[in-house]
Amino acid sequence: MSRIIAALSFFTRIPFWRLKALTKEDYERVVPLWPMAGWLTAAVMALTFWTASLCLPVSVALILAIAARLLVTGALHEDGFADFFDGFGGGSSRESTLRIMKDSHIGTYGVVALILYFLLLFAVLQSYFTSVIQLQPTNCFGLEQPSVFHNFYCSLIFFAADPFAKWASSNIINVLPYARKEEEAKNKLVYNKMTLAEKILGLLIGGLPAFIIFSWQIIFPMLAASLAAALVIFLCYKKLHAYTGDCCGACFIISELSFYIVALAVMV
């Protein structure tokens, strides 16, 4: 239970830490439960989108859903994503890349990356939801399902993408060492590498929602998300021979976005 609370506390601004006193070890061993935090942030997005879509256009409901996750997470992933592009775009060496990534100020590469990311995320999800909502399915009696239920079904894509992308990005700690000393880390800790049992647990937590909710076609977005995470991990190896928290954030963002793009291509 302590590790679950630690995962939810780290990835959100919700004060779960008040439920139980947490130790440094709880946070060090929290990586296998990253996908569980994805369940929560996915639920926030799905609930926001569903309720807003009942009385507002899909585009507005989608923006509100994205904004809701940003508020809950404190833009944790997006901050790391921007720092990652600043460092990898402006750094000419390992040392300069790490120095730029540690700088709290955002640069040109980070700004451009965030703009392109949000434009792509909005365009892909709007196209996905618009296409799926138009495919008004029938229930077992051959009658059209009310849009209230169909819109809710559409929002379940968040439960497939967010937890799985968190699992895919969590693998970076198993492949690469941490780039800095523990005392230099933003959160003053270094995650423990996962055991085999923890790797299986993380995969089950991250991947089961997708298979339960959707058909076999979901395997293609999952493969895309995994390949995107592997590419980011490879870039981190080539540039740093290690990872940082910003690399984790970028890995999640790129992995999740790849999931949605392929879902749009094969599922509608």
Longest dimension (CA), the chain: 65
Compute the average pLDDT of residues 237-255: 94
pTM above 0.85, yes or no: yes
Asked if residues 159 and 43 have their Cβ atoms less than 8 Å apart, the reply is yes
* Mean pLDDT over the full length of the chain: 87
- The model's pLDDT over 143-156, given as tens digits with 9 standing for 90+, comes to 444 456 667 777 88
Taking 60 as the threshold, does the pLDDT of residue 140 lie above it?
no
The total number of residues shown for the chain amounts to 268
Question: Per-domain residue ranges for the chain?
Answer: 75-267
Neighbours of 247 (CB within 10 A): 29
Confidence of residue 135 (pLDDT cuts 50, 70, 90): low
- H or E element at residue 168: helix 157-170
